[in-house]
Structures are given as C-alpha cells and as structure tokens.
Amino acid sequence: MVPRVARGLVLGDVDRDGDLDVLVFVRESCPVLFRNDRSPQNTNHYLRVNLRGKGKNTKASGAGSG
C-alpha cells in the first residue's frame, strides 16, 4: 500500500456488485478508487485505516472530526 495524504472519501457501489467501494480524494493528485472485490466465500467484513500525523500529532488527532 502506498501512503497518501487525503482530504475526503466517498462510499458507493461503483461496480454494482452489492458491496461498497471507496473513492479517496488525494491531495494534489487524482482521486483513487479502492474496489471492494471480496468473494462470497470471504467472510471478513472490515476495513483497516491507519492515520498518522507528523511532528507532535503522531496519532493524527482530529483527522476524523469536522
């Protein structure tokens, strides 16, 4: 996975397969689409996002607010 600085995201079923896909708006670049292509046999239903800040804000505090 490539680290990116992003400012927003949109959830939607882009490929109309019944599961949510994620469109991330990357700062100073084109948006990135993450398609949810899990198979019906895969029962994992989660998404892990690691937020990291710089300097004193190493836990990216406040990144989810606003």
Q: What is the pTM of this model?
A: 0.58
pLDDT tens-digit series, residues 7-63:
888 999 998 888 889 999 988 889 989 898 877 677 666 667 777 666 776 666 666
- The CA angle 35-40-47, to the nearest 5 degrees, is 45
Q: What is the pLDDT of residues 49-66, one digit of tens each?
A: 777 666 776 666 666 544
**Cβ-contact 33, 14 below 8 angstroms:** yes
